[in-house]
Amino acid sequence: MEEQLLATQAERIGPHMDVVLSADQIRRRVNELAHEIDRDFMDETPIVIGMLKGSFIFVADLCRAMAIPHHIDFMAVAAYGAGTTASGAPKLLKDLTVNITGRTVLIVEDIVDTGATLSHIRRLLMTRQPRRLASVALLDKRTHEDPELPIEYVGFKIDGGFVVGYGLDLAERYRHLPYIGRLNPTQTEETDTRV
């Protein structure tokens, strides 16, 4: 059944995408991350904060693989385009609905590219004085470690190229794919719909 679904999707998407992480590889790694988080936060009830929209599938899978009790909330920022303010800070589109002061917080990102978004969110959340703040990114595209931007849990380090699927989009397409694929450069010239 799953093979049939994947074949149908591959047929619709066409030959312009290479699968870089299969659904199975992602599932295995997400389970490993969840076990690490369970171990490290065993005595706490962290607030898991998903960064919309890209992290929605990752958050759903990660939370279901975690055994420890936790709360879930979401934030949304516009990282690029018209939403980027003159100061270069990403624009906050949706804030949390819970108070994180004195709480343990786990930020969940689908991908860290330049690190600007995560860096901004970490700074913002630190002003609210959580007890502990950690980050998890399914994909880390950075070529160098940044001591200013620790990411405690990383699913996969990936090379350049534009990746989509498992929540990640190109102009809102491809988010539903259960795997992560790298698009042929000619496919990335479509209009960007981000605000």
CB of 189 to ligand PRP, least distance (A): 16
Cβ proximity to ligand PRP: between 2 and 148 the closer is: 148
CA 98, chain centre distance (Å):
20
CB of 186 to ligand PRP, least distance (A): 20
Cβ proximity to ligand PRP: between 17 and 59 the closer is: 59
CB of 111 to ligand PRP, least distance (A): 5
Residue type, 9: Q
Bridge partners of 164, per DSSP, are: 181
What is the contact surface with ligand PRP in residues (CB under 6 A)? 51-54, 78-80, 109-117, 169, 194
- Alpha carbons 42 and 24: distance in angstroms, whole number: 26
CB of 115 to ligand PRP, least distance (A): 5
Angle made by CA atoms 123, 144, 165, in degrees to the nearest 5: 80
Q: Which residues are catalytic?
A: 113
Bridge partners of 78, per DSSP, are: 91
Contact 89, 121 (CB under 8 A): no
Cβ proximity to ligand PRP: between 69 and 88 the closer is: 88
Residue type, 113: D
Calculate the alpha carbon distances from 73 to 96, 99, 146, 158 in Å.
Answer: 6, 10, 26, 27
Cβ proximity to ligand PRP: between 99 and 114 the closer is: 114
